[in-house]
Structure 1
Amino acid sequence: MGILNVTPDSFSDGGRFIARDSALRQAEQLLAEGADIIDIGGESSRPGSDALPLEQELERVIPIVESLRECGVPLSIDTYKPAVMRASLAAGADMINDIWGFRQPGAVDAVAGSQCGLCVMHMLNDPLTMQSAPSYRDVAAEVGQFLAMQASMLEAKGIARSRICVDPGFGFGKTLEHNLTLLGRLDELAHGSWPVLVGMSRKSMLGQLTGRKMPTERLAASVAAALCAAERGAFIIRVHDVAPTVDALKVWQAVRSATPRVEQA
């Protein structure tokens, strides 16, 4: 999944693709590098960010969806607003990626009647406060419980399981220790029931580990994190740097396919 932020204030590439022409050029680049999905975001969810007015998000996102709907890969929309969900689906989007896990009033109704894919993400509190001393007794158990609860709720509303994936929300109300625990126990989070989407690309957790202060300096760490996630069962890897991640995953998959599995006694 290639990230296309059409925002002025995203933590990594804010402002680079706010203009329609530059956003479309970036989408072409993501496709050329091997992206299987393009994830379009019109509102930054970086820690400490304020909510964006609805009309501004629509103005940023809908023209891009309309321009890319024939691009040949599914379009995902990173939003939690039901009105943006409805408008995006009407414009040709294929997936809704919701940082609130479809907890906002009207969110489930906005997607239930379509055939779009849904990503349920875990976030503690909200973007403005999520990094204010986040605390868990057992982060993997609590995050896994939330994801299972929300995904099961969607199924109870008539949404097919095949439409749903889940995301533990790295960096969304988690310390470095929480993030590392979630990555290490990634295979536990979906209980084998839903595919797992992982987004760690360029995030501050990687900066903390490597000492790289600038998000654009975290390429190697982002690729390493993607491989760790794939090894633990991640099905969708959400990244800024598609080509290096695709190359690394090709090598990992080739070695994995060529190596006989040893059955445990």
Structure 2
Amino acid sequence: MGIININDDSFSGDGTLNQKKAIKMAEDHVAKGADIIDVGAESARTNRGPISIEEEIQRLRPFIEAFHSIEWNGKTEKPLLSINTWRPEVVKKILPLGVDLLNDIGALHSNDNAKLCAEHGTALLIMHSIGLPKEPHLGEKYKDIVAEVNRFFEEKIRVSESVGLHRERIVLDPGIDFAKDRQDNLLLLKHLNALKIHKRPLLVPVSRKTVIGDVLEIKEPQDRDAGTVACSVTSILRGASILRVHNVSATSKTIRTLEPLLK
């Protein structure tokens, strides 16, 4: 999954408000091996204010429309489109435009998002967190992070099914760096296989995250790609089905190298 940030305050420094540039980035991601494009209009950084619902829609709509007009020459299968948002007001306007996956980074705070996905035949990515994006949770403490994430997933799957979304349409995300400290993040990455009990695909979004910067003592997110590749390898070995990354080329080459070694 290749990341596209349609904003000017992405933590990784790769955001853009230029729609043509964003589409070109999507084409480049796919050319380098991405099967899914994940686009978001609002940075999740807690030190930046939220954008309005109207602004988020205005950033996403033209990208989605342009994405669907691309002729993916040489691709046997068209890449999937994932939209990164959590606000039901945005989801309601965006899903009818043609979205394969809703990446709900709001920890399914609103059951309406699961219901909307069911109505539009859209798959739902449920990310673990405490509270909403933009809310700092640095003091959050867990007795057993893996067990608590599993309980969260169990409850959110139950809620999603109760509003009509089939279990087969759900993907799970442990929410690396969201309301978690370094030790929490490392424990989740070490024990990803324990999150497979729900028998749903796992997405790991560790690309350039703070936990990598902490381990390597690297401040700039753009310089954390080596750590991202290391986490990508261990995540695959421990059961991840999808890797959400900025550097698609490095990750794709890593996976292609791993495949014959694991046969």
Normalised to the residue count of structure 1, the TM-score between the two structures is 0.92
Task: Tell me the equivalent position of 1:52.
Answer: 51
Shift of 1:70: 4.5
Aligned to 1:194: 200
Whole-angstrom distance in 2 between the partners of 1:14 and 1:244: 16
2:165 to 138, 159, 176: 159
Distance 1:47 1:111 in 2: 27
Residue number in structure 1 paired with 2:65: 66
Residue in structure 2 matched with residue 23 of structure 1 by the alignment: 22
**1:206 CA drift (Å):** 0.4
Contact 2:212 2:224 in 1 (8 A): yes
Q: How does 1:85-124 map to 2 (within 5 A)?
A: 85-104=91-110, 106-124=112-130
**For residue 98 of structure 1, what is the amino acid of its counterpart?**
D
Structure 2: which 5+ runs fail to align?
71-77
- Counterpart in the other structure of 1:135: 141
In the superposition, relative to structure 1, how do residues 189 and 47 fare at CA in structure 2: closer, same or farther (>3 Å)? farther
Shift of 1:160: 1.4
- Which of 197, 205, 223 is the equivalent residue of 2:211? 205
**Letter paired with 1:56:** E
Distance 1:130 1:140 in 2: 21
| Count of aligned positions | 256
Unaligned runs of 5+ in 1: 258-265
Of the structure 1 ranges 50-59 and 164-173, higher mean CA displacement relative to structure 2 is found in: 50-59
Identity of aligned residues (%): 35
Q: Distance in 1 between matches of 2:11 and 2:40?
A: 12
Distance 2:212 2:246 in 1: 14
The Cα RMSD (Å) is: 1.4
Amino acid at match of 2:120: S
Whichever residue aligns with residue 9 of structure 1, its letter is D
- Select the residue among 232, 240, 260 that pairs with 1:254: 260
| 1:203-242 correspondence to structure 2 within 5 Å | 203-242=209-248
Take 1:152 and 1:255, find their aligned partners in 2: how far apart are those partners?
38
Greater displacement, 86-95 / 232-241: 86-95
Task: Specify the alignment match of 2:12 in structure 1.
Answer: 12
| Distance in 2 of aligned mates of 1:224 and 1:6 | 27
Alignment partners' CA distance in 2, 1:70 and 1:152: 36
Cα deviation, 1:186-235, whole Å, max 9, x if unaligned, reads 11124142111110001111010011111110111011111111111001
- Equivalent AA in structure 2 for residue 76 of structure 1: S
